[in-house]
Structure 1
Amino acid sequence: MKIALLALLGLAFGALGGAALGISAGLAWIEIFRTPNFEGYSGMLVFFTFMPLGAAIGGIGGALPFAVIAIRDAGIGIAHEQAARRER
């Protein structure tokens, strides 16, 4: 349960951070490549392309480290339990 909770927490934080970075990357893209703003094209490009991509990449990138940390922590606890049982 702890592993799933930490993975979901990492997913949420990673998605928020990735969406913010995606918006920043989209705004940089618009400035660098001089994307026209005809009928809001540049805004749609940022919020319908860069933001979801950043959120997806950030969510995966946030969930994996949290899950790995939780799995390692669970593995260490099991190892300590087995060692304590052997000493008795």
Structure 2
Amino acid sequence: MEKTPEKINRIKVNINGEDYYIKGAAPDEYIRQVASYVDKKMADLSRSHRNLNAARIAVLAALNITDELFKLKKEYDEFLEMLESENPKG
């Protein structure tokens, strides 16, 4: 059975005052939400660090978002461990 190719969307988003065209198989709304999240993180950092250029703001935003991801992944892993200890296989 042949696999049907996923539709690739091309979405224009604005992040930190710059337009970007993002390609992906994710729905348009999801891509917009992700871009909006990054834009908000960069805007927040720009307000609190007015002396930094856009590249440094982008790196700080990436570090902050990655920190959020790692913390959530740790919580998720701990939750899975708790579930497994309450419901052992076997």
Q: TM-score, normalised by structure 1?
A: 0.47
Higher relative helix content: 1
Structure of greater relative contact order (alpha carbons < 8 Å, 6+ residues apart): 1
Q: TM-score, normalised by structure 2?
A: 0.46
Higher relative strand content: 2
> Which structure has the larger Rg?
1
